[in-house]
Amino acid sequence: MAEGHAVHGIAGRLRQFVGQPVRSCSPNGEFAAEVFDRRVVADAQAVGKHLLVSAVGVELTAHLHLAMDGAVSVRRHTRALDGDFPRTEPPVHGNVSWRLLSATHLGELTDPAVCELLDGDGVLALRARLGPDPLRADAEPDLARRRIQASRRPVGALLIDQKVIAGIGNVYRAELLHRARLDPFTPGRDIDDDTFGALWQDAVDLMTLGLGARWIVTDEAQMVAAREVLVRGERVPRWPKRYAVYGWAGRPCPVCGTTVQAQRMGLQRMFWCPACQGVGSPARAGEVEGHTMALPSVWPEPTRR
């Protein structure tokens, strides 16, 4: 499933249409796309893993959720124009629920889990059932802090609960907790303000970098390199993924060498290092600082989920 940084990336690509009149249709007939036809797109934004698209003069908002199989493509076209719109429609390939066509771009949504129209109350209800999103400027992290500290559930389960924080998925959950040297089984109510504040800030930093890089970067050396590439205005290459624990069950933790564990927590497997992330562990006490294990030069792709 796409984590929040990827959904924000899609919203950014959909903003190619903002300010543009569009032809809007639903090739597979599953979406009432005609309400946007010949309208000007007003906004495309992400809230956690949800997308909201609105148009000038249209009271309804399109709500999209991609879940496991959904995808959005936005690409430039060079079709001849007749007024504001291309004279001909490109052929449809695949199970396209929604197609947007402007003078310059073609956008297509395929296989979404949700593609519906919401009225104003529906948008407010959606926003209300989602926790703050680390990638949104209007996020109120205190809301997430209060929800975590009011819960006996393990922090590993709370971090991917979209009602607590919107946008964090299984990879960021595992890597954030390992970076914080935090036991994923710690009850939410035992997370103090400072620990929460550091987790939130790391989520903001990692997901912002993920949005820029277009993939999840959590390894310190790769983070430095990715930021240098982004500062130059270039595209971050897809280097081999160097997760510390995610997908690495049964392999040594890159920090301390202890075997990484995995266990189902919520709907997905949680990966963690019992030494780095155990109560009173040497790594937690800072004793392994300076003893980082040599990392293999070639990293295999981690197993999924």
Can you tell me which of 126, 226, 253, 262 binds Zn ion, judged by CB under 5 A? 253
Q: How far is CA 73 from the centre of its chain?
A: 16
Per CB under 5 A, which region of 93-101, 158-166, 216-224, 252-260 contacts Zn ion?
Answer: 252-260
The token duo for 26 is 């639903």
The token duo for 222 is 């790769």
What is the nearest approach in angstroms of Zn ion to the Cβ of residue 196? 22
What is the nearest approach in angstroms of Zn ion to the Cβ of residue 253? 3
Instruction: Look at residues 49, 7, 41 and name the one whose alpha carbon lies nearest to residue 21.
Output: 41
CA atoms 12, 18, 21, 27: torsion sign: positive
By CB under 5 A, residue 275 contacts Zn ion: yes
Complex with Zn ion: residue 137 or 294, whichever CB lies closer: 294
Can you tell me which of 41, 96, 262, 273 binds Zn ion, judged by CB under 5 A? 273
By CB under 5 A, residue 244 contacts Zn ion: no
What is the nearest approach in angstroms of Zn ion to the Cβ of residue 288? 8
What is the nearest approach in angstroms of Zn ion to the Cβ of residue 276? 3
> What binding mask, one character per residue, do residues 187-206 give for Zn ion by CB under 5 A, x or -?
--------------------
What is the nearest approach in angstroms of Zn ion to the Cβ of residue 248? 10
Per CB under 5 A, which region of 27-35, 71-79, 91-99, 266-274 contacts Zn ion?
Answer: 266-274
The token duo for 210 is 């993920």
What is the nearest approach in angstroms of Zn ion to the Cβ of residue 237? 28
Complex with Zn ion: residue 50 or 178, whichever CB lies closer: 178
Phi, psi (degrees; rounded to nearest 5) at 108: -135, 135
Write the CA distances from 260 to 75, 173, 273, 282, 295, integer angstroms: 41, 15, 5, 16, 15
Residues 244, 254: contact at Cβ < 8 Å?
yes
Can you tell me which of 58, 256, 265, 270 binds Zn ion, judged by CB under 5 A? 256
Per CB under 5 A, which region of 58-66, 128-136, 143-151, 269-277 contacts Zn ion?
Answer: 269-277
Q: How far is CA 49 from the centre of its chain?
A: 6
Complex with Zn ion: residue 213 or 245, whichever CB lies closer: 245
Interface ranges with Zn ion (CB under 5 A): 253, 255-256, 258, 273, 275-276
